[in-house]
Amino acid sequence: MLKLAVLVSGGGTNLQAIMDAIAGGTVTNAEIVTVISNNADAYALERAEKNGIDAVCISPKMYESRDEFNRALLQQLNSYQPDLVVLAGFLVVIPEMMIEEYRNRIINIHPSLIPSFCGKGYYGLKVHEGVLARGVKVTGATVHFVDEGTDTGPIILQKAVEVQQGDTPEVLQRRVMEQAEWLILPKAIDLIANSRVSVVDGHVRIEE
């Protein structure tokens, strides 16, 4: 059974998608052992508690330095001994010490087709604002492993979503979540939980 630690900052819609997929059997051999947020007011924590999952807030505001926060976050994570760390809308830079310790065991969902509209400054609504400003016709979402760069780790899954005339950033954000994020994040977890994903020479291989 793959033990998941899900890290969140906001409402937790991707967390809900994972919980629903586990409950519905589309994700197998996996369980969420903890949900950690940097935001005490994150609704995701409430979602976790309602499902009997340990929910913890660890905020940089609770510590005198970023280094102290990073160490506390890693210590909290390690206490659950997760097999996979899932960044589901976690708006905190992951410390290098965590990346080193969980190499190829941290995945992230990004609301665009990487390498487009990703990297520093592209998060949340800013991604969809960028898509609309550029006038592209197709956007989507990407699940990737996390490395020391920003949105630069090996790509696991992507799914395209059509940009429609009259879209606002909020409307497009919702469509990308519904048609891409909530589908490919659980699917990636299921692939990993069933040993169908490997990283070879910096590229992901998926067994059919």
List residues with catalytic annotation. 110
| CB distance 128 to 172 below 8 Å | yes
For residue 61, what are its two tokens? 């505001």
Which CA distances in Å does 36 have to 12, 26, 93, 112, 207?
Answer: 11, 23, 14, 24, 31
Determine the Cα–Cα distance for residues 86 and 41; give it in Å rounded to an integer.
20
Q: What's the burial of 95, exposed, middle or buried (CB within 10 Å: 0-12/13-18/19+)? A: middle
Provide the pairing of β-strand 54-57 with 30-37: parallel
- Give the CA count within 13 Å in the CB-facing half-sphere of 30: 30
For residue 78, what are its two tokens? 């390690």
Determine the Cα–Cα distance for residues 138 and 37; give it in Å rounded to an integer.
31
Which has the closest alpha carbon to 133: 151, 112, 108, 105? 112
